[in-house]
Structure 1
């Protein structure tokens, strides 16, 4: 698959997930009244929004203008890592802590690839391809957070 096609589909999918998540949060408005749940809701929101934004910047910069995606990915990854670590400090459930820890690690890798794109040569791919794979992992972790949030809330 062409990298620009991947990022177009990926970004659109992530923005759709953001919208679906808001629909889920509207099913029980008491969630936003509880500060702990409100932070968890925001964490899931960012798990889909930040990769969506990275996908948009990858489309704008692409392979032709790597500085655009590299700078934007580093900045967004720093925001994602900082907010994820902040949430990690308040999470009580070990499974959620593990998911958030994994997400923080992925954000660090994305930022490092933006700063040092030559490191992608270790796996034989272009940097923008390696970051694409990491973003897929990040969204999968977001899905796991949604599942855990909904199952734990139902219990």
Structure 2
């Protein structure tokens, strides 16, 4: 699959996940009423929205205009990092903290590869391909957060 096709499919998938997550959060209004939960579910929302936005910018800039995707990846990754660090400082569950720490590390790597594309050379991939792999990792970590919220809520509701 070429990079342009990957980012087109990836963005569409991430935007679909954003919509699905909205549907999940609407099933229980208590999630939105509680400020702590609201921040946590907002973090899941960003776990899908930010990679989707990066995917769109990768399509706009593509290989021909790398400055477009590189700058957007840096800015969006820094926003994601700030949000993730804020959530990380309030998470009490060790598994969630580990996922958030992995997410923070992935955002740092996205920003670094965007800033210094030569970092991709040792792995034999183009920088935009390395970024694609990191975005897949971000979405996988987002899925881990979804799993936690769904299982945690099920266990809480069963009491």
Separation (CA, whole Å) in 1 of partners of 2:69 and 2:27: 36
1:66 deviates by 0.2
1:153 deviates by 1.3
Whether 1:117 and 2:117 are equivalent positions in the alignment is yes
Deviation string for 1:100-138 (max 9, x for gaps)? 000000000000000000110010000000000000000
Separation (CA, whole Å) in 2 of partners of 1:55 and 1:119: 20
Moved more, 28-37 or 16-25: 28-37
Instruction: Indicate the residue corresponding to 2:107 in structure 1.
Output: 107
Separation (CA, whole Å) in 2 of partners of 1:35 and 1:103: 22
1:82 deviates by 0.4
1:37 deviates by 0.5
User: Which contiguous aligned blocks of 4+ residues in structure 1 show a shift greater than 2 angstroms?
Assistant: none
- Report matched runs for 1:80-95 at 5 Å: 80-95=80-95
Separation (CA, whole Å) in 1 of partners of 2:52 and 2:87: 20
- Matched residue SS, 1:63: coil
1:154 deviates by 1.3
1:10 deviates by 0.1
Instruction: Indicate the residue corresponding to 1:130 in structure 2.
Output: 130
Whether 1:19 and 2:19 are equivalent positions in the alignment is yes
**TM-score, length-scaled by structure 1:** 0.99
Instruction: Indicate the residue corresponding to 1:58 in structure 2.
Output: 58
1:83 deviates by 0.2
User: May I ask how many residue pairs the two structures share in their alignment?
Assistant: 155
Separation (CA, whole Å) in 2 of partners of 1:123 and 1:54: 21
- Matched residue SS, 1:64: coil
1:49 deviates by 0.1
Separation (CA, whole Å) in 1 of partners of 2:118 and 2:135: 18
Instruction: Indicate the residue corresponding to 2:36 in structure 1.
Output: 36
Separation (CA, whole Å) in 2 of partners of 1:9 and 1:145: 22
